[in-house]
Amino acid sequence: MSEVRPPRLFTKFFKWYCKAPLQESILGDLEEAFYTEVESKGQLIARWKYIWTILRFIRPGIVRSLEGTQKLNNYGMIKNNIKIGMRSILRNKVFSILNVTGLSVGLASCLLILIYVKNELSYDTFNANYDRTYRVIQHFGGRGSDLKNEILPTSEYQVWGNAPIAPALQEYYPQIESVFRFTSQFNWLVEYKGNRYQEKDVVFGDSTFYKVFSWDWLAGDAETALVRPSTIILTKKLAEKYFGNENPIGESLLMDGDELFEVTGVFEIPANSHFQVDAIISMSTFKGYRPEIFDAWGYVDFYTYFTLNEQANIHDLGEQIPDFLTKYYDTEYGYTFQFEALKDAYLNSDAGRQPGPVGSKNNIYLFISVAVFILLIACINFVNISTARSIDRAKEVAVRKTLGSRRSPLISQFLIESVLITFFAALVAVLMVSLGHGYLELFIGKQLSVDWLFSPVSLLIGLLLVLLLGVLAGLYPAFILSNYRPLQVLRGSFKNSSKGIWLRKTLVVLQFALSIMLLAGTAIVYQQLNYIRDYDKGFESEQILVIDYGGDYKVKRNIDFIKAELLKHSAVESVSVSRATPGDFFPNAGTTIETPNGEMLAKSPAIYEIDEDFIPTYDMHMVAGRNFSKSFPTDTTKALLVNEATAKLYGYSNPEDIVGKNFSQWGREGKVIGVVEDFNYVSLHSEVEPLALRYSIWWSTEKFSVKLKSTDLGSTLGELEAIWKEAVPSYPFNTYFNDMSFDNQYEADERFGIIFYSFSILAVFVACLGLFGLTIYTTNQRAKEIGIRKVLGASVQRIVTTLSFDFIKLYCIALLLAIPVAYWIMSTWLASFAYQTSIGWQVFGFAASITLAVSLLTMSFKTIGAAMSNPTKILKDE
């Protein structure tokens, strides 16, 4: 670890400006205070206080003498300009507050969005071998051996694959350093000291995990933790859940009521990992249960990751895939695989069956656009108000020029004022970020690190950006103000420049356009989320209570008895048992079905294992053939249901035609007896995929689906829990409603929508601030015109209309510009959904109406007051 020391850059800066005789004593005190702060409050706070103290020491008594140069004069001039700038800011409180508020909201919004975007881009970067880590994505397509030489799109592959590819890769490719496999999640009933819990995020994993992933290792020996059978490592959260503050190493957990697992390690996966687990059981344990699957290339239940040595090139490995398949798995089934970089796993992968949730590049691009829009609107406000106020400061400029001031000092004066306003806005923005950071975490459901934002490097970059933003925002107004001719101004013949007027109009158009685009985007996001919620998924999920018993052996042995007990309750309409329910995890199955030309075609559709009550419980519809039935005993072993997508996959455009065809699947052979209407068993981000439904033997079940007809769900759940505890005293009553579970797939979309709404509202608020400022200025400039119009008999309504008409013309131009751009941006975003709402004129009508209404309401606060003012007070000096 590197030595802790004060920031060198600021130490050098202090030595540069401080008087030589004072340097040693002051630096000694500063360093002593720094190390004291490190011990008591940590390095980050100590560095921040060190920097702040050095900046506070910039004062006349400490700054070194600059005799013999012009620097002292420049220092004095800058000091004088800062004083004048502060006076000008305080003298024009309304405009200063509008500028600072607009800029601070814009900067705070950008910082919060930056925090979110940085977190999204940081996924998996904590790994030491981040740039050299890859994973295997596999294709089980049944399309023929020609796939060995064919590169399919990534969407045709899935991350979930077989077990034997891992040792085969390490044997075939000498460039591979380490390989790590882990399985999909398993449900376990964990017992410790009489307390029982159902844990869902438990996987089996190889002992090489620490060579591939740089997780935080907290206790135990990582090298040996998962070598032996019946060993388990826990996350810090799970370890504290069972053992509190005690050392868990060497302790044992009773798993599924009949096997003891020794705790050999405690770890923590960083929050910005693309997958999370709560515990890992040694892979040697799994091998002891089912050794045959570790040689089965067609069995799917593993995720495989590996690291390359520094000299290796992943493209070289990819080119050898056909030869690899010829050596290890030369089959006509059509199996193939590719490699995907770890850096693409979270944001750039469209492979199926991901081990965890993935991010969205489109959402990131949209947020970045919103940040740019808000900052642009804030800068437009500043430029507009500054140029509009140019007439008010014309006499000041004229007097200073008459007294001999050159143009460059005037430009410096106005730029310093701009930088001061930006600096104050930045301070307010930092305060807003510190207050809003917690709400942002709450909205998106993730921990967002902000320590990097207050590091010395980030602060220095921030100061430079504030300086740059202040200069850019104030550059045009500074040049306009400094260019006034004193003779014209002092004679009273000065008029505002037409160029300045056109600039303000152009910027107002841009501001209106950005606001309309944001509101239209907000409306489309809201409309799409509602569309997803209300879309007919093809099954009924409300009032269906799922009891998850994790495939517990004791429960499975008494399924019929438990079903009968649950059905005795008056609020229970039906009960079904299955391995999965809509929205849950499900496997794929190698399935061979007879095609229209009589050939047996092998594919790998998803599979549901269900009983005869599953389809009626979820109110699904048969479009051909029949459902499973107890009237046909052979249905349990020789019958198969498919959905419409599967019928099309095997060449049947008419679902009726696949009924009666032969099939072979997972050791069963028989006939297809029926076709279920397509239902969305996964997220609406994807189209309905092929699905086979087979009758579940008792040992392959994990869940009860209980259809309720009660309105008093609270008491009903209590009564069902009592029935469960009576029938199954050994297993906890773990339940959830299927509609809530299914909708959890859209949690990320819902959170995105909330954040997008919030920032859009902030953008419109900033735009209104600028519009309010311009309205104040315009009405002040036209005060005499308003007075004359009132004297001549103009009504309040007529005056308000006259004052608002110029803005309405600009608004109409902005509307024409905003609609096509907003349509293109949001069409791109909607493309990530397989089922998407249409973008109608109503969306833009809503955005246009809201923007116009808010704008008119904002202007009315000043225009109505001006129109109702007493004309004699305005014209008394004329």
* pLDDT tens by residue, 682-691: 877 778 889 9
Q: Is the pLDDT of residue 574 over 80?
A: yes
Percent of residues in the chain assigned helix, strand, coil, to nearest 5:
55, 15, 30
pLDDT-derived band at 236 (thresholds 50, 70, 90) equals: very high
The CA distances from residue 295 to 163, 292, 298, 862, 871, in Å, are: 7, 6, 9, 79, 95
**First CA to last CA across the chain, in angstroms?**
78
Question: What CA–CA distance (Å, rounded) separates 18 from 188?
Answer: 66
Phi-psi region of 42 (alpha: psi -120 to 50; beta: other; left: phi over 0): left
Q: Tell me the DSSP string of 26-49.
A: HHHHHHHHHHHHHHHH-HHHHHHH
Of 685, 748, 746, give the one whose Cα is nearest residue 359: 748
Identify the residue with better confidence: 578 or 773: 578
pLDDT-derived band at 190 (thresholds 50, 70, 90) equals: very high
Identify whether the C-beta of residue 191 lies closer than 8 Å to the C-beta of residue 162. Answer: no
The CA distances from residue 15 to 8, 30, 459, in Å, are: 11, 13, 20
This prediction's pTM: 0.78
pLDDT-derived band at 20 (thresholds 50, 70, 90) equals: confident
Give the domain-ending residue among 733, 762, 791: 733
Do 280 and 220 share a structural domain? Answer: yes
Tell me what pLDDT residue 8 has: 80
Residue 166 DSSP SS3: helix
pLDDT-derived band at 490 (thresholds 50, 70, 90) equals: low
Tens digits of residue pLDDT in 759-807: 888 888 887 777 776 676 666 666 666 677 766 666 767 777 776 777 7
- Classify the C-alpha dihedral 15-20-26-31 as positive or negative: positive
Question: What CA–CA distance (Å, rounded) separates 480 from 476?
Answer: 6
Question: What CA–CA distance (Å, rounded) separates 374 from 766?
Answer: 7
Do 380 and 276 share a structural domain? Answer: no
Tell me what pLDDT residue 69 has: 42
Give the domain-ending residue among 733, 760, 777: 733
Q: Is the pLDDT of residue 647 over 90?
A: yes
Identify whether the C-beta of residue 773 lies closer than 8 Å to the C-beta of residue 385. Answer: yes
Phi-psi region of 257 (alpha: psi -120 to 50; beta: other; left: phi over 0): left
Do 646 and 721 share a structural domain? Answer: yes
Q: Is the pLDDT of residue 192 over 80?
A: yes
Residue environment code for 169-201, b if the CB has 16+ CB neighbours within 10 A, otherwise e: beebbebbbbbbbbbebbbbbbbbeeeeebbeb
Of 293, 272, 274, give the one whose Cα is nearest residue 340: 274
Whether 221 is covered by a domain: the verdict is yes
Tell me what pLDDT residue 651 has: 93
Helices (H) then strands (E): counts for the chain: 29, 23
Identify the residue with better confidence: 845 or 744: 845
Do 152 and 115 share a structural domain? Answer: no
Half-sphere exposure of 218 (CA within 13 A, CB side): 18
Question: What CA–CA distance (Å, rounded) separates 205 from 200?
Answer: 15
Do 512 and 485 share a structural domain? Answer: no
Torsion angle, alpha carbons of 581, 582, 586, 590, to 10: 110
- Classify the C-alpha dihedral 326-330-334-336 as positive or negative: negative
CB atoms within 10 A of CB 241: 16
Most confident stretch, 30-44, 633-647, 844-858: 633-647
Whether 225 is covered by a domain: the verdict is yes
Do 643 and 556 share a structural domain? Answer: yes
Residue 677 is classified by DSSP as P
Identify whether the C-beta of residue 759 lies closer than 8 Å to the C-beta of residue 373. Answer: no
Whether 319 is covered by a domain: the verdict is yes
- Residue 494: alpha-carbon gap to chain centroid: 54
Residue 142 DSSP SS3: coil
Question: What CA–CA distance (Å, rounded) separates 810 from 795?
Answer: 24
Do 134 and 102 share a structural domain? Answer: no
Of 153, 147, 297, 133, give the one whose Cα is nearest residue 215: 133
Whether 609 is covered by a domain: the verdict is yes
Q: What is the mean pLDDT of residues 491-505?
A: 59
- Beta-bridge partners for 302: 161, 183
Of 614, 612, 615, give the one whose Cα is nearest residue 629: 612
- Beta-bridge partners for 180: 305
* Structural Rg of the chain based on CA atoms: 35
Q: What is the mean pLDDT of residues 421-435?
A: 87
Tens digits of residue pLDDT in 853-867: 877 777 776 666 666
pLDDT-derived band at 144 (thresholds 50, 70, 90) equals: very low
Phi, psi angles (nearest 5°) of residue 35: -70, -30
Overall number of domains in the chain: 5
Identify the residue with better confidence: 402 or 355: 355
Q: Name residues whose C-beta falls within 8 Å of residue 442's C-beta, 6 or more positions apart in sequence.
A: none
Whether 542 is covered by a domain: the verdict is no
Question: What CA–CA distance (Å, rounded) separates 230 from 281?
Answer: 7
Question: What CA–CA distance (Å, rounded) separates 518 from 818?
Answer: 9
Do 185 and 60 share a structural domain? Answer: no
Q: Is the pLDDT of residue 256 over 90?
A: no
Tokens 């005869």 sit on residue? 612
Q: What is the mean pLDDT of residues 605-617?
A: 94
pLDDT-derived band at 216 (thresholds 50, 70, 90) equals: very high
Question: What CA–CA distance (Å, rounded) separates 668 from 680?
Answer: 26
Tens digits of residue pLDDT in 811-836: 888 889 889 998 998 888 888 787 88
Whether 282 is covered by a domain: the verdict is yes
The CA distances from residue 178 to 90, 227, 317, 510, in Å, are: 65, 15, 15, 55
Tokens 């106005």 sit on residue? 414
Q: Is the pLDDT of residue 142 over 70?
A: no
Q: What is the mean pLDDT of residues 342-362?
A: 90
Do 585 and 484 share a structural domain? Answer: no
The CA distances from residue 91 to 84, 87, 652, 770, in Å, are: 10, 6, 80, 19
The CA distances from residue 255 to 190, 238, 260, 775, 804, in Å, are: 5, 14, 6, 71, 74
Range of the domain at 716: 550-733
Q: What is the mean pLDDT of residues 454-482?
A: 76
Tell me what pLDDT residue 530 has: 84
Q: Is the pLDDT of residue 614 over 50?
A: yes
Longest dimension (CA), the chain: 108
Q: How many residues does the chain have?
A: 878
Tens digits of residue pLDDT in 55-108: 888 777 787 765 444 444 455 566 666 777 677 777 777 777 888 888 888 888
Phi, psi angles (nearest 5°) of residue 491: -80, -15
Tell me what pLDDT residue 148 has: 47
Identify the residue with better confidence: 508 or 347: 347
Question: What CA–CA distance (Å, rounded) separates 275 from 182?
Answer: 11
Do 72 and 56 share a structural domain? Answer: no
Question: What CA–CA distance (Å, rounded) separates 286 from 200?
Answer: 17
Give the domain-ending residue among 26, 50, 65: 65
Tell me what pLDDT residue 640 has: 97
Do 572 and 633 share a structural domain? Answer: yes
Do 258 and 246 share a structural domain? Answer: yes
Q: Is the pLDDT of residue 300 over 80?
A: yes
- Angle 438-440-444 (CA atoms, 0-180°, nearest 5)? 120
Of 675, 663, 709, 676, give the one whose Cα is nearest residue 582: 676
Counting Cβ atoms within 10 Å, is residue 70 exposed (0-12), middle (13-18) or buried (19+)? exposed
Tell me what pLDDT residue 741 has: 76
Whether 544 is covered by a domain: the verdict is no
Whether 151 is covered by a domain: the verdict is yes
- Angle 418-421-426 (CA atoms, 0-180°, nearest 5)? 120
Residue 665 DSSP SS3: strand
Identify whether the C-beta of residue 766 lies closer than 8 Å to the C-beta of residue 378. Answer: yes
The CA distances from residue 725 to 262, 358, 703, in Å, are: 29, 38, 16
Question: What CA–CA distance (Å, rounded) separates 249 from 254?
Answer: 15
Of 399, 428, 517, give the one whose Cα is nearest residue 759: 517
Tell me what pLDDT residue 477 has: 66
Tell me what pLDDT residue 72 has: 43
Identify whether the C-beta of residue 463 lies closer than 8 Å to the C-beta of residue 52. Answer: no
Identify the residue with better confidence: 242 or 499: 242
Phi, psi angles (nearest 5°) of residue 657: -75, -20
Single-letter amino acid, residue 695: Y
Lowest mean pLDDT among 66-70, 184-188, 290-294, 872-876: 66-70
CB atoms within 10 A of CB 455: 14
Residue environment code for 750-760, b if the CB has 16+ CB neighbours within 10 A, otherwise e: bbbbebbbbbb
Most confident stretch, 113-122, 483-492, 608-617, 840-849: 608-617
Q: What is the mean pLDDT of residues 531-536?
A: 81
Of 493, 456, 499, give the one whose Cα is nearest residue 480: 499
Question: What CA–CA distance (Å, rounded) separates 126 from 215?
Answer: 8
Tell me what pLDDT residue 791 has: 67
